Structure 1
Amino acid sequence: MTAPSRPSRVERGDWQTPLELARQVSRLAARLGARPSSILEPTCGKGAFLTAAAEVFPDIPARGFDIDPGHVEAARLALAGAPVDVLLGDCFEVAWEDVLAAMPDPVLVLGNPPWVTSADLGALGSRNLPPKSNFKRFRGLDARTGKSNFDVSEWILLRLLAALRGRDFRMVVLCKSNVARRVMEHVAHEGVRVSGATYRIDARGAFDVATAAVVMTLAATPPPSGPPARGWAVFDSLDAEIPRRTMGVHGGRIYSDIDRLERTQGLEGQCTPAWRSGLKHDCAPVMELEAKDGALVNGLGERVDIEQSVVFPLLKGSDVANGRRPGRRFVLVTQRSLGEETRTLQDQAPRAWAYLVRHEEKLDVRKSSIYRDKPPFSVFGIGPYTFAPYKVAICGLYKKFSFALVEPHEGRPVVLDDTCYFLPFEARDEAEAVLRALQSEAARAFFEARVFWEDKRPIGKGLLQSISLEALVRSG
């Protein structure tokens, strides 16, 4: 059998689940109380989950579907003699209501839907996409075009949940952590009565991919006889018996820890002053300079002699997170406000202008569309706040709440890069008071209730902006 080509593999999210992992997931389903009368694997690949399910739930009839004829053939050979039907079918086109109508309750859904986004597929020119529809109304998708990006696995899981409405079922599937969260938001918004939990897995070890992934479990719950479940338990591994925390949806928004949420709701509000992003230039070899042997040297190894009026000390996110002092890195700042004309540098800083013109080709090929139709050598994340003498800063990339006070260096305000967020202050004592408040246990509990550390940039402006400094200072 010929292995799928790389584009085909990417298009279909075709990373086969190791059989041992499929066995662990199937055993988890049994441990959680699954006693199925039928089993469904909507994207079965070469049959790892169907094989594992046949071992853990012997003699239970199962059905599997896959779009790849080679995979279907391999699964049929692996499951010869088991009560399993493996069928060729595109999960986007299968009439799941009809399939499930022939399967007795309780139904157990196992599997690992493709880990690929609609944007990935569009970039590949793939036609292997679900039909455009407003399947996530509450998240503001364009109902007419369905153009917004989404995970294919999310579409499949929500499609199956719709087909299972009113049925006695349990779903135990692999997915990215953020997909599990969006499914959780969906069922809360739609009022689907299910209980759920997530169990963290090692995606790098299993699939050699650098993403946060979980086993998501869902089970139909009977009509209400009491208060609804508070949330979804979050377990650190498939073997864990005690959850580390409980996620929950409140007011249409998902929270990472609803116990901490309940203790910190009084701190919610709009932060004043507003959090700002650091400087964005997208051309470090030209724009960033390093102090070496009494001179400034750019990333190309060139000694740079330009006016000090456009050179500012720079702290990058790693510097802020690790408590480093300014003085080693510097940055060329071409504007004082967003959209400001840069050609004035020809008169105000002619050596800097000549330096920029000399490297014009490198600056002109910056990929981000934000530079299009802007003055030459423009930067972003720029404004009066950039030049505030004192800042309380944090790096958005690090998985810790480590706020730092940034002070002037040799009389010059320190500029932060675009991995940082900061609050600007004119007075040191005001900045110090805010820093103390943000380092308090109350602030930590507030942020921990709302952060998802598995995200690529877990600390974002929206999270930081959601705390009221006034309420926080008052609480201390």
Structure 2
Amino acid sequence: MKSASRVERGDWQTPLDLARQVSHLAARLGARPASILEPTCGRGAFLQAAAEVFPGTFARGFDINVEHVERARLALAGRPAAIDVGDCFDVPWEDVLAKMPEPLLVLGNPPWVTSAELGARGSRNLPPKSNFKRFSGLDAMTGKSNFDVSEWILLRLLAALRGRDFRVAVLCKSSVARRVMEHVAREGTPYAGATYRIDARGAFDVAAAAVVMTLATRAPGEAPPRGWAVFDSLDAERPERTMGVHGGRLYSDIERFERTKALEGDCTPAWRSGLKHDCAPVMELEAKGGALVNGLGERVDIEDLVVFPLLKGSDVANGRRPGRRFVLVTQRWLGEETRTLREQAPRAWAYLVRHEEKLDVRKSSIYRDKPPFSVFGIGPYTFAPYKVAICGLYKKLAFSLVEPHEGRPVVLDDTCYFLPFEAREQAEAALLALQSEAARVFFEARVFWEDKRPIGKGLLQSISLAALGGARG
């Protein structure tokens, strides 16, 4: 299959050995199916593996690709199976499932592609338009309404399976499994679930955090589970933690949440994001041989007024001191008129005009209709002399104190979050609180380390420094 078409359909065939492991996991968890369904069967790896683990059980499979369906039929030749060409977005799943005896076992690997990716490719391989995540207003029209196609398929199947005796064991991204878990909790459906980490790079050469998600109806009278067990591998017998939903919010470790919920609150001062400029070759400078040099290799002679020491996320995470990198800051607050630089810093203005073409092609819509050479993540807090900072991209809780460099406040890049302080004593007290054991347990209960940016403003803002100070005392 051509690469573009493969990506559009999320066509990454599951290795047969992995499908066998998932089928054995389902059996180990108690699956004794009367029928098996693979909704996006591809070449039939899961159907073949399930036929080996559950011999004689009737299986149904669907796939949009005619060649895949033919290969799946050959793989299942002589076994009780029906494999048809069908678009999972259009298949009448209630009708299909009504003809399948219980208990049902749903296996598979739905496409790992998002609606935004498909839209950018002009693809028509999308589910019917609907606000299925129930966002309102602007959220329904912007990035929050983006979703993984596998998430849509799984929620569609769960709707069709309502009231049936079933078990699900499917491959998906960790983030998709979490959203399904939130959906199940929100709907109040009596299901028990778990996740088992897999090596997506080894299986599919894909750099994504992925799991086998299991989900099953509970027996009558069975107590509802506290949450979803999280296993480190398909072979693990004991979970490393238990995820859970409380108050509509998902927590990565429900036991640690219970121990630290008294620390929840709105952090004061508020956490801030670092500076965003989207043009490093022009805006970021490096000290070399007594001069400042930009990313284009040019020596830059501009006024000190607009030049500030810079720490990037990697610097913060690794405890590096300022003094090597610098950044050109064109504004003091969001939306400030920049043309005043023509009088206040004429050399800097001339430098910016010389590189105007590079700055004008910045892709983000946030620069549209703003003063020329605007930046974002800017305000009085940017120039606070003392900061407690952390990089959002690193998978570790590494808070650090950022002090002025040669009398100038240090600016952080937009991979960082920070608390601004005027006094060193205040910053040191906040740092000590955030480095405490109580804070570590609090964040560990709420962070999902597999995310691309595991540490975000929402997470940081949710801890009360005042309550944390009391917990430390």
TM-score normalised to the size of structure 2?
A: 0.98
- The question of whether the paired residues in 2 share the 8 Å contact of 1:19 and 1:48 is answered with yes
Aligned residues: CA RMSD:
1.4
2:175 to 178, 186, 190: 178
The answer to whether 1:112 aligns with 2:102 is: no
2:301 to 295, 302, 305: 305
Q: Matches of residues 433-448 of structure 1 in structure 2 within 5 Å?
A: 433-448=429-444
1:132–1:144 distance in 2 versus 1, CA, 3 Å = farther
TM superposition shift of 1:111? 0.2
1:329 to 325, 331, 334: 325
Mapped to 1, the partners of 2:422 and 2:169 lie a distance apart of 54
Paired position in structure 1 for 2:466: 470
Paired position in structure 2 for 1:50: 47
The answer to whether 1:240 aligns with 2:239 is: no
Paired position in structure 2 for 1:93: 90
1:282 to 258, 278, 283: 278
Mapped to 2, the partners of 1:336 and 1:156 lie a distance apart of 47
The answer to whether 1:420 aligns with 2:416 is: yes
The answer to whether 1:128 aligns with 2:125 is: yes
1:384–1:141 distance in 2 versus 1, CA, 3 Å = closer
TM superposition shift of 1:82? 1.1
Mapped to 2, the partners of 1:325 and 1:144 lie a distance apart of 43
Q: Matches of residues 16-415 of structure 1 in structure 2 within 5 Å?
A: 16-137=13-134, 140=136, 148-224=145-221, 226=223, 228-415=224-411
1:224–1:272 distance in 2 versus 1, CA, 3 Å = farther
Mapped to 2, the partners of 1:198 and 1:221 lie a distance apart of 17
TM superposition shift of 1:282? 0.5
Q: How many residues align?
A: 471
1:130–1:377 distance in 2 versus 1, CA, 3 Å = same
Secondary structure at the residue paired with 1:99?
helix
- The question of whether the paired residues in 2 share the 8 Å contact of 1:133 and 1:144 is answered with no
1:145–1:360 distance in 2 versus 1, CA, 3 Å = closer
Residues 304-356 of structure 1, C-alpha deviation per residue, up to 9 Å, x if partnerless?
A: 11111111000000000000000000001111111101111111111111111
Residues 154-209 of structure 1, C-alpha deviation per residue, up to 9 Å, x if partnerless?
A: 11111111111111110000000000000000011101111000000011111111
TM superposition shift of 1:44? 0.2
TM superposition shift of 1:135? 2.5
Secondary structure at the residue paired with 2:214?
strand
Secondary structure at the residue paired with 2:256?
helix
Secondary structure at the residue paired with 1:204?
helix
TM superposition shift of 1:40? 0.3
Residues 60-107 of structure 1, C-alpha deviation per residue, up to 9 Å, x if partnerless?
A: 110000011010011111111111111111111111111111111000
1:52–1:225 distance in 2 versus 1, CA, 3 Å = closer
Mapped to 1, the partners of 2:316 and 2:325 lie a distance apart of 13
Q: What letter matches 1:34 in structure 2?
A: A
- The question of whether the paired residues in 2 share the 8 Å contact of 1:133 and 1:145 is answered with no
TM superposition shift of 1:406? 0.1
1:431 to 422, 427, 432: 427
Q: What letter matches 1:44 in structure 2?
A: C
Secondary structure at the residue paired with 1:260?
helix
Mapped to 2, the partners of 1:447 and 1:223 lie a distance apart of 36
- The question of whether the paired residues in 2 share the 8 Å contact of 1:193 and 1:222 is answered with no
Secondary structure at the residue paired with 2:118?
helix
Q: What letter matches 1:411 in structure 2?
A: G
TM superposition shift of 1:144? 9.0
TM superposition shift of 1:474? 1.1
Q: What letter matches 1:408 in structure 2?
A: P
Residues 229-278 of structure 1, C-alpha deviation per residue, up to 9 Å, x if partnerless?
A: 10000001000001000000100110000000000000001000000000
Mapped to 2, the partners of 1:175 and 1:142 lie a distance apart of 28
- The question of whether the paired residues in 2 share the 8 Å contact of 1:310 and 1:332 is answered with yes
1:108–1:462 distance in 2 versus 1, CA, 3 Å = same
Q: What letter matches 2:195 in structure 1?
A: T
Q: What letter matches 2:41 in structure 1?
A: C
Q: What letter matches 1:450 in structure 2?
A: R
Q: What stretches of structure 2 of length at least 5 have no aligned partner?
A: none
Secondary structure at the residue paired with 1:453?
coil
The answer to whether 1:14 aligns with 2:11 is: yes
Q: Matches of residues 451-466 of structure 1 in structure 2 within 5 Å?
A: 451-466=447-462
Q: What letter matches 1:279 in structure 2?
A: L
TM-score normalised to the size of structure 1?
A: 0.97
Mapped to 1, the partners of 2:148 and 2:13 lie a distance apart of 18
TM superposition shift of 1:6? 1.8
TM superposition shift of 1:134? 3.5
Mapped to 1, the partners of 2:133 and 2:149 lie a distance apart of 13
Mapped to 1, the partners of 2:416 and 2:130 lie a distance apart of 37
Mapped to 2, the partners of 1:359 and 1:143 lie a distance apart of 35
Mapped to 1, the partners of 2:111 and 2:273 lie a distance apart of 34
1:390–1:243 distance in 2 versus 1, CA, 3 Å = same
Secondary structure at the residue paired with 2:179?
helix
Secondary structure at the residue paired with 2:79?
coil
TM superposition shift of 1:136? 2.5
2:446 to 439, 450, 458: 450
Residues 391-429 of structure 1, C-alpha deviation per residue, up to 9 Å, x if partnerless?
A: 000000000000000000000000000000000000001
TM superposition shift of 1:441? 0.5
Secondary structure at the residue paired with 1:72?
helix
